[in-house]
Amino acid sequence: MSVAISLDSPSHHRTDNKIQDEKGMAPIKTKEYWLLWFTYLAWCSLGSFFFLEIPLVLLFQYLIIIPGLYYTFIWIRTKGSTIPKSVWCLAAFSVLAFISSVVNRIDSGDWGGVSKIRYFFIGVLAIAPSYHLLKSNSFSQRKKKVLLYLFLVSTAFANIVAILTFFVGYNPLKAQGSCFDLTDDFPRTCGMYSSTMTYGYGAGLLSLFLLGLLVNAQKLRDIVGKNILLLSSLLSFIGLYLSFARGAFLGFLLALPWLFATFRNKAAPMRFYGLSCAALAMAMVMLLSFLNYIPKGSIQNRLLASKGSSYEGRISFYRAAYYGFKENPFFGLGFQNFDKYSVDLKKKYNILFDRDQRGSAHNNYLEILAGSGLMAFLAFFGFLLFWLIEIFKSTKEMRTLFLPFFIGFLISGLFHSSLIDRWSLFFIMGVFTLFQALELKRKAYRNGSHL
């Protein structure tokens, strides 16, 4: 179904619940006109607020839900066979995680974590309306510029605040000082977030996504300037560095060479190998220089130095999550419920380190296994596998933009449970939705058919 409307037209004639512009364009149903407006405003709210820890980002889910239900129903009814396998797997994971949470929370009456599963459902529902927005006449160059600049300016602002807070020692916007590592009193920054982990891992993924945009700057020259992309990328990397989130930094370094993987071609193979080697060399230099300045004046490498308390603390949570999965292999402990049982599991299985410290599994995969069980984990694994295949089957530009982000998400997820962090989920699901909507548009124009 094709929608051809113009939200830029200053005047329209209303006839029989339809809108028709003065140039005689085909009449458009008023309902779809407003649904596309809601979709555009939803993306504006997501791009503006997701990196600022402002509750207004929740507008995204409220604005997208009605367009999502409407267009997803049409998609399933008319072109259900075109729905990508990764989308089906994400939907299956959402359902299985919900069932697991319901089964585990019927007796306890604690339904707090269940509500976070909606972010995965929103990620599925947002694809169809986003596709219709992309291919409609309403999505003008001006609106693309507004949306992209909202995203770039808000993230740059958050990173500037993070950098200044680190050096000044105080964040006036949140009336709090710099974030500190609880065990070593390391000065760190957390930007506009309350957690260094949330900011650091978010900044790592954001840096990869911005670098993907920067590599594709020539294709985006009519929408955004190269200089602002370069500035935003630099600020995001500095923020990542000053967060001293080791898993996020490691994910960034290992994903960086993939930024150039799509430059390989038969005519110039040395260009590919040269860029890849340069990226690896740069990654190693950054790895060796990942230093944390301790207030007492000494310096310690955050990745290579021995950090017993931090490393052993993570391992203790890994072990507890494993035992939690063994006790409940099918339904798990309930989505985001491992935190609640982590202390009891440590004591039960004699995990001595930080046995009274509760927390997440600090690992996306163990978090899902312990929280939602084996079937949900398999669905999530299918989601990752098919999304990766879909990225590789896409165009060079799409691979450059989304493959580094995917690799970074994959690796950093070994050290942080970003899937139970709603601020991280907004960004991750937003990127997945954007990829699927762009792919649907590309395939529709290539095949000459629309949803």
Strand residues in 163-226 grouped as ranges (E): 170-171, 176-177, 179-180, 187-188
Residue 149 falls inside a structural domain: yes
Does the structure show a pLDDT above 60 at 270?
no
pTM of the model: 0.85
Number of domains in the chain: 1
Residue 1 falls inside a structural domain: no
Does the structure show a pLDDT above 90 at 68?
yes
Residue 119 falls inside a structural domain: yes
Give residue-wise pLDDT tens across range 376-416: 999 999 999 999 999 999 988 899 999 999 999 999 999 98
How do the residues of the chain divide into helix, strand and coil, expressed in percent and rounded to 5? Answer: 65, 5, 30
Q: What is the pLDDT of residue 6?
A: 31
DSSP class per residue in 292-320: EE-TTS-EEETTTS--HHHHHHHHHHHHH
Query: Which amino acid makes up residue 105?
Result: R
CA dihedral over 294, 298, 303, 306, signed as positive or negative: negative
DSSP class per residue in 338-353: HHHHHHHHHHHTT--T
Q: How confident is the model at residue 50 (pLDDT cuts 50, 70, 90)?
A: confident
Residue 6 falls inside a structural domain: no
Give residue-wise pLDDT tens across range 302-345: 655 555 567 777 888 888 899 999 998 988 888 888 888 888 88
Give the domain range for residue 60. 12-447
How far is it, in rounded angstroms, from Cα 359 to Cα 345?
12
Residue 236 falls inside a structural domain: yes
Query: Which amino acid makes up residue 273?
Result: Y
Residue 274 falls inside a structural domain: yes
Q: Residue 84: CB partners within 8 Å, gap ≥ 6?
A: 386, 390, 436, 439
